[in-house]
Structure 1
Amino acid sequence: MQPTSSLHALRKLLKERDLDGMIIPRADAHQSEDCSPNDNKLEFISNFDGSAGLALILADRALLFVDGRYQVQARQQVNLEEFEIHHLHDEPLHLWLRDNLPAGKRIAFEPLLMVNSQYESLRTSGCDLVAVNDDPLNTIWADRPAAPRGVVTQMPDEISGEPSAAKRARMAALLKEKGVDYLAITLLDNIAWLLNVRGSDVAMNPVAQSFALLKNDGEIEWFVDDAKLHQLDSTLLNSVSLQHHDSFLARCQQLAAGKRFSLDGDTAPVAVRIAVEAGGGEIVWQPDPITLVKANKNSAELEGYRACHIEDGVAWVNFLAWLSHEVPLREAAGNPVTELEAQEKQLAFRQQCDNFREQSFSTISAAAHNAAMCHYHSAPETNMAITTKAFYLNDSGGQYFNGTTDATRTLNFGQVDAQRRLHYTAVLRGFLALISLQFPQGTQGHQLDAFARRPLWEMGLDYDHGTGHGVGHCLFIHEAPHRLAKKVNPWPLLPGVIQTIEPGYYLEGSHGMRVENQVEIVASQPGFCKFASLTLIPIDLSAVEISLLSEQDIAWLDDYHQQVREILSPLVSGDARPWLIEATAPVRTQRA
């Protein structure tokens, strides 16, 4: 590869400022998983476009830290003659700095792009952290995209289930209980939920880039570009104090004297801490209370999830029926269906749904060894044929006006070798072990994670990603705070929480597989909960070693497929209905 001009320009800039290095995170001021092109500095400097990571640029070295999802992808996208690839969690940046750089090295960072918890960990590295507030990359990013100005729309109360004024009063009461004067809100989905608005600044993320300050009497200041607001209800606009987007930090400093500000150390930029402390304010470090309240869905939100999953299930079945017909036919004719064609066809089926708004994330349409990158996205240069000789993995979802969907299916259209069959069966058994589980109310996500991994662990295998995540209500596809993963997650799983269940397995250069349903946690026996599937999509059993499934596994699959068949068969296309009936046939008949 040719030397990266952006890397050369940044090093020149650092030398001019007497800096030894700079941290470039995959983050905006709101810690959004999906940055706008204007904010994606990590891709600009490295060419890596995954959703998590950071770079450390030094005078003579460049390091890219990514998690397990992106170890393969990063090595394909960046110039490996210039960048070293490291694991984001196995060798955290603060430890790398401590162990590899002499104390006192001047390392630059942008306070708006770094949260307080990361800042505090980096302070233990022995390096001198130098805050830069003038967006230094802007001087070397000649063709930088403009900041987004997407239209903001109202979320009707009948869909949100609670008026914004009531939400603000409820949250203000929590602030008073804590003896806090202001809550600084920097997470975009929390602002959208609190104000009952949805935005369009970043594709597939229905939020508006903005900040907010909620006072403990319920008054709120909203720091947002007012050019985005022309479609909003005057009732909302008259109930908030609109401020210029860029005045947020100055306003925090102006209000700070003698006041207590609630900040979330894991999500709020350290720039807010600096502003409040400079103004003489006191900081109360605690999780943003909106995050947990938002995650426990009300009855209107839950009804929306259930309804949009029916629409999404219809789109999936119409797509899978088409795919099952076309793949062998087109392969035999020498004109195979490709990854990109399949995802375009699937989107077309979703666009036929009445409440469909847009995709909820970029579709993972992955054939054969491409699926070994668990967050692979097809492109013209990687676009593979979907054939009868290899698995095809599809992970996709939709933003609907009444909810959000996310599901994965691994599909087989021909014969499968013994190794792949055992791997897929282990993934499915882990999925079934977890989704059929009854657990004490208040159990935490990390306490359940191993149920999904056990069948793989028994084979000496594992996967390097979480087992499940929260899903927003026409909001982010990955919603905090609940998560099913090895890492401790201290939040109780209660009725009304939405999660995914998605174990997988990935063998580089060979294959990747995942089975994912979105679920609602519901009450079960007294004091216990269980998962109720929202996803309504047949699970491909053609590559499963049925003899390895338990009676409980088979009972769950048969009950689930009966539910899918009964709900969707009157709604799918006439061409898809016979495929649906066959795809949901009882396992017991196959075992016999």
Structure 2
Amino acid sequence: MTHPEKLAAIRELMKKDGVAAYIIPSADPHISEYLPDFYKSIPFVTGFTGSVSTVVITEDFAGLWADSRYFVQAEEQLKNSGFELVKLKAQGVAEYIDWLGEKLPTGSKIAFDEKTVSVLLGLQLEKQLAFNDVSFQHQDYVGQIWKDRPSLPDEPAFLLADEVVGQSVPSKLEAIRSSLKKQRVNYHLVSSLDDMAWIFNLRGQDVGFNPVVLSFALIAEDKVKIYLDQHKLTASDLATLSAQNVEVVGYDTLASDLQQIPSDSSILIDPKRNCLFMYKQVPAGVQKILETNPSTYLKAIKNEVEIANTRKTMIKDGAAMTKFFKWVKENVDKVEITEISAAEKLRGFRAEQDGFVGESFNTIAGYKAHGALPHYAATPESDVQVKADGLFLVDSGGQYQYGTTDITRVLPMGNNTDEESTDYTLVLKAMIEGCKTRFPKGTCGYQIDAITRRPMWDYALNYGHGTGHGVGYYLNVHEGPHIFNASATPIAIELGTITSIEPGIYRIGKHGIRIENLVLTVKDTANEFNEFYAFESLTLAPIDTTLVKKELLEASHINWLNNYHQEVYEKVSPLLNEEEKAFLKEMTKAI
């Protein structure tokens, strides 16, 4: 079926059920960012492959709501699909709800698959459209027309040893139960896969790039159930969980257990990380506490073992990046290098490192104008050759058994313009500004976001995405609860959190520049004014200084860069051969 044919088929089902609007979110029953193929409904229906969007279909309109990161990509991929791009004014806001309120007649029926709608979104729809007397219906129209739909993943899962993660499962459950007790909660439903992985020291390969396992958990005061098909775990791992008083039962049995919760009890459900379908299985009399998973806060603060292992992992990743830079610089215009072949080569260099498991996300390798697309993913159709001209942006990361990496660098390939040099220097200055900042305890992410942007704001420049996101430990490359963006999220930056700092400049049709390091929040000083924190740069890879306009940098930025490069050379060079050491020495020389 073509995309217009799929749209027509869905509209026929809507007409049959008297449905005025059908919503397709980018989600699964675990409200994941990265989805198993089974739940990639939006790519199937529309052809759009971006990781975040929402589709709304009515009788006479079919729209895909996406933010500025995807405008160019969506306009290209939606051509002749029957779907139109609707540009979000603000990232992460469900603006289509107001649109539905304006367009739909009173008493209309809206349908969606409750397994792919978060509790938060479901309640928001009910609240914002209440004045319209709208009713809602649980329907999976996509599933009805997707005849060759992929199966749910069924990959093996495994447990990590306590010495690898630094904390045992019983210890983590004790911390979670302590939080539940303070909130006077009897039960806790966990659906988010990274929380599941952290709580139970559980890893797998059910979802691309994220070492997670399709699973749920129901935590009670005296027992725990994991909803995970038992054949995924070895007998030894099942015995380990059993010894920790954790029972493993079938993945599909959660709904029936939720229905049996006593009506005089209470349950904590994270409205952002649980689906509406499971929420509705809880009996009406049960008090539902809608709060963030306790594990989300606990997971974000890395322990000493996780921090030490992550530091070691960054050195290995830095060696792989150095080898990659050397290969690109020495082979451009000598052998054919394309965006796709470069990404494959980089993966190969990472694979040489001990403990490498896979990539932490799909590498963004954007040459020239493609670099201006923040979430560009090269395809055989879009792939271009990298030449000794312009800028080459590479945003990539690795999953290692002892940590997760995420790094962006831009390689000047030659014949660069003055505009490119200025833009490059200002992005570098902004990244350094964020990395070197000192801030009082209690500072929130939006304040770091503003501090990082200041050097660019001085030149009336800006970027449409956030400055940074949390990063897991051999887990998801994006994790909360803290985030560095313009939204006034009242979550303080805690000691032990790992976050990216990644400002950028994107000139559509010309070039894109983004430079990214991961940083660890550490203690700095304390006095009568407050405790002050700082960032330790975990990422250890050279930053190309070919285009740097030194006159645009302040002394503090120059000192930071030179000290950083000295550390990069000292820590990464022992993993390199003599030629690679010489290359790294040149890349990290003081400016």
TM-score under structure 1 length normalisation: 0.95
Within 5 Å, which residues of 2 pair with 1:539-550?
539-550=543-554
Match of 1:562? 566
Within 5 Å, which residues of 2 pair with 1:65-464?
65-79=65-79, 82-88=82-88, 90=90, 92-123=95-126, 124-125=128-129, 126=132, 128-132=134-138, 135-217=140-222, 219-230=223-234, 233=237, 234-238=239-243, 239-278=245-284, 280-327=285-332, 329-330=333-334, 335-464=335-464
Per-residue CA distance 1:532-570 (angstroms, 9 max, x = gap): 011001111112211111100000000000000111112
Q: Is the 8 A contact 1:98 1:127 kept in 2?
A: no
* Cα distance in 1 for residues equivalent to 2:207 and 2:81: 32
Query: What amino acid maps onto 2:261 in structure 1?
Result: L
- Does residue 532 of the first structure (1) align with residue 536 of the second (2)? yes
* Cα distance in 2 for residues equivalent to 1:32 and 1:74: 21
- After TM superposition, give the deviation of residue 114 of structure 1 in Å: 1.2
Structure 1 unaligned segments of length 5 or more: list them: 588-592
* Cα distance in 1 for residues equivalent to 2:161 and 2:147: 41
- After TM superposition, give the deviation of residue 28 of structure 1 in Å: 0.5
* Cα distance in 2 for residues equivalent to 1:165 and 1:2: 51
- After TM superposition, give the deviation of residue 189 of structure 1 in Å: 0.6
Per-residue CA distance 1:503-554 (angstroms, 9 max, x = gap): 0111111111100001111100111111101100111111221111110000
Sort the Cα spacing of 1:68 and 1:277 in 2 relative to 1 into closer, same or farther, 3 A.
farther
Sort the Cα spacing of 1:42 and 1:237 in 2 relative to 1 into closer, same or farther, 3 A.
farther
SS of residue paired to 1:75: helix
* Cα distance in 2 for residues equivalent to 1:216 and 1:463: 46
- After TM superposition, give the deviation of residue 253 of structure 1 in Å: 1.5
Match of 2:57? 57
- After TM superposition, give the deviation of residue 129 of structure 1 in Å: 3.9
- After TM superposition, give the deviation of residue 79 of structure 1 in Å: 2.9
* Cα distance in 2 for residues equivalent to 1:493 and 1:9: 48
Query: What amino acid maps onto 1:580 in structure 2?
Result: L
Per-residue CA distance 1:385-434 (angstroms, 9 max, x = gap): 11222100000010000110000001102131111211111111111111
- After TM superposition, give the deviation of residue 80 of structure 1 in Å: 5.1
- After TM superposition, give the deviation of residue 283 of structure 1 in Å: 0.4
- After TM superposition, give the deviation of residue 204 of structure 1 in Å: 1.1
Query: What amino acid maps onto 2:219 in structure 1?
Result: L
Match of 1:46? 46
* Cα distance in 1 for residues equivalent to 2:497 and 2:156: 29
Q: Is the 8 A contact 1:322 1:576 kept in 2?
A: no
SS of residue paired to 2:574: coil
Sort the Cα spacing of 1:93 and 1:387 in 2 relative to 1 into closer, same or farther, 3 A.
same
Count of residues paired in the alignment: 579
Q: Is the 8 A contact 1:152 1:199 kept in 2?
A: yes
Structure 2 unaligned segments of length 5 or more: list them: none
Q: Is the 8 A contact 1:106 1:127 kept in 2?
A: no
* Cα distance in 1 for residues equivalent to 2:444 and 2:383: 40
SS of residue paired to 2:341: helix
2:583 to 579, 583, 587: 579
- State percent identity of aligned pairs: 36
- After TM superposition, give the deviation of residue 98 of structure 1 in Å: 1.7
SS of residue paired to 2:111: strand
* Cα distance in 2 for residues equivalent to 1:75 and 1:544: 34
Query: What amino acid maps onto 1:266 in structure 2?
Result: K
Per-residue CA distance 1:417-452 (angstroms, 9 max, x = gap): 111211111111111111110001221101111122
Q: Is the 8 A contact 1:57 1:63 kept in 2?
A: yes
* Cα distance in 2 for residues equivalent to 1:87 and 1:482: 26
- After TM superposition, give the deviation of residue 220 of structure 1 in Å: 0.7
- After TM superposition, give the deviation of residue 247 of structure 1 in Å: 1.8
Superposed CA RMSD in Å reads: 1.6
* Cα distance in 2 for residues equivalent to 1:136 and 1:210: 24
Match of 1:590? none
* Cα distance in 2 for residues equivalent to 1:22 and 1:108: 5
Query: What amino acid maps onto 2:331 in structure 1?
Result: E
SS of residue paired to 1:569: helix
Deviates more, 1:339-348 or 1:236-245: 236-245
SS of residue paired to 1:108: strand
- After TM superposition, give the deviation of residue 3 of structure 1 in Å: 5.3
Query: What amino acid maps onto 1:577 in structure 2?
Result: K
* Cα distance in 2 for residues equivalent to 1:89 and 1:293: 33
Q: Is the 8 A contact 1:153 1:232 kept in 2?
A: no
Deviates more, 1:412-421 or 1:203-212: 412-421
Sort the Cα spacing of 1:81 and 1:36 in 2 relative to 1 into closer, same or farther, 3 A.
closer
SS of residue paired to 1:22: strand
Per-residue CA distance 1:68-105 (angstroms, 9 max, x = gap): 21111111111356212113453712111122322322
* Cα distance in 2 for residues equivalent to 1:506 and 1:152: 40
* Cα distance in 1 for residues equivalent to 2:469 and 2:119: 23
Deviates more, 1:527-536 or 1:92-101: 92-101
* Cα distance in 1 for residues equivalent to 2:165 and 2:8: 49
Sort the Cα spacing of 1:550 and 1:232 in 2 relative to 1 into closer, same or farther, 3 A.
farther
- After TM superposition, give the deviation of residue 15 of structure 1 in Å: 1.1
* Cα distance in 2 for residues equivalent to 1:171 and 1:3: 46
Per-residue CA distance 1:288-325 (angstroms, 9 max, x = gap): 11100110111011111101111101111111111111
* Cα distance in 2 for residues equivalent to 1:205 and 1:199: 8
Q: Is the 8 A contact 1:204 1:359 kept in 2?
A: yes
Match of 1:5? 5
Deviates more, 1:189-198 or 1:456-465: 456-465
* Cα distance in 2 for residues equivalent to 1:301 and 1:81: 46
SS of residue paired to 1:149: coil
* Cα distance in 2 for residues equivalent to 1:215 and 1:66: 39
